Amino acid sequence: MFLSSDSRSLRRGKRVAPSTRVCRPCLVMPVVDQEHEVPGVVLDMNPYGMLVRLLEPFEKGEDVIVQLMRDEDYTETFSRPLTCRIVRHAGKQGALTDVGLKIIQEPVRRSESRPPAVSQPRPRLQSARTRMHTIDLTVNERLRRRGR
């Protein structure tokens, strides 16, 4: 929560989505040198970013890869690696550093759409026309003979 410059109106934070508190171990490595892995802990996250507590500081604006881990021994991965950009930096040199990361959303690749299949109308088989006949039948009609 922030007060505006004229101190008359209240302005809420700039979060796009609410964050979820988590305590997930992770490995953070720079994009340029992926061999240098820095262990850390994700403190909270949302679909657009996360807050990570690291042992070593990174520069603001640097692109990093974050690999969430399933266990505290950093042996089993939890998900695919995420490419992030450091947007906030809080902490002192030599101590634990809290870093705000923005997840770089990869564009969704759409496959080429095929044109819809147009079904051709089936040709009708023309059969010979049937002729209608009407027959008048009477049931149980007895023939009358004259003279009997």
Cβ-contact 61, 100 below 8 angstroms: no
pTM to 2 decimal places: 0.61
| Confidence at residue 86, expressed as pLDDT on a 0 to 100 scale | 92
Is the pLDDT at 109 greater than 70, yes or no? yes
Residue spans of the domains in the chain: they are: 27-103
Closest by CA position to 88, among listed 61, 66, 108, 70: 61
Is the pLDDT at 2 greater than 80, yes or no? no
Cβ-contact 33, 70 below 8 angstroms: no
Closest by CA position to 102, among listed 50, 32, 58: 50
Across 101-115, average pLDDT = 85
Question: pLDDT confidence of 113, banded at 50, 70, 90?
Answer: confident
Is the pLDDT at 79 greater than 80, yes or no? yes
| Confidence at residue 84, expressed as pLDDT on a 0 to 100 scale | 93
pLDDT for 38-65, tens place per residue?
899 999 999 889 999 988 888 888 999 9
| Confidence at residue 1, expressed as pLDDT on a 0 to 100 scale | 47
| Confidence at residue 71, expressed as pLDDT on a 0 to 100 scale | 87
Q: Among 77-91, 108-122, 127-141, name the one with the lowest average pLDDT.
A: 127-141
Across 82-111, average pLDDT = 84
Closest by CA position to 28, among listed 62, 1, 3, 5: 62
How far is Cα 27 from Cα 44, in angstroms, rounded to an integer?
A: 15
E strands present in 18-62: 20-30, 38-46, 49-54
Interior/surface letters 11-34, b for 16+ CB within 10 angstroms, e for the rest: eeeeeeeebeeeebbbbbbbeeee
